[in-house]
Structure 1
């Protein structure tokens, strides 16, 4: 079985996201230990992105909780 071009593209995009996430985590740890300025910048962006994801997840959970019928 061969992969289609679409499957390959999706795999590459997911691999890129994984590399960015791992790189961001490495920068956060390095920045905590006093890394260079660019590492602290990448760490700040990574932490801000994580905070945005958490906030959106909380909002989504709240909206789902409010719309559940609860009729069981």
Structure 2
């Protein structure tokens, strides 16, 4: 069970690093597939930022005003 968790984390790490490499490569004029992967990576990052903002707003609303 522990090994599967480590393998899963390494897989996620590889996807993140690969996505970042594609973003940099696409900025320098890489092939079409690199630009597609970079667009998907940037869209996923934006979705994560939006969900984090909305989660923070909902947590702030539960605090009772944050005084």
2:10, 2:66 → 1: CA distance? 42
User: CA separation of 1:35/1:66 partners in 2, compared to 1, >3 Å: closer, same or farther?
Assistant: same
Per-residue deviation at 1:69?
3.5
Cα RMSD (Å): 1.5
2:47, 2:65 → 1: CA distance? 29
Q: Which has the higher helix share?
A: 2
- Which residue number corresponds to residue 34 of structure 2? 39
User: Where does 1:1-72 land on structure 2 (aligned, <5 Å)?
Assistant: 6-69=1-64
Aligned length: 67
Q: What 5-or-longer segments of structure 2 have no aligned partner? A: none
Per-residue deviation at 1:16?
0.2
1:16, 1:57 → 2: CA distance? 23
Q: What 5-or-longer segments of structure 1 have no aligned partner? A: 1-5
- In the superposition, the TM-score normalised over structure 1's length comes to 0.88
Q: Deviation above 3 Å: which 4+ runs of structure 1?
A: 69-72
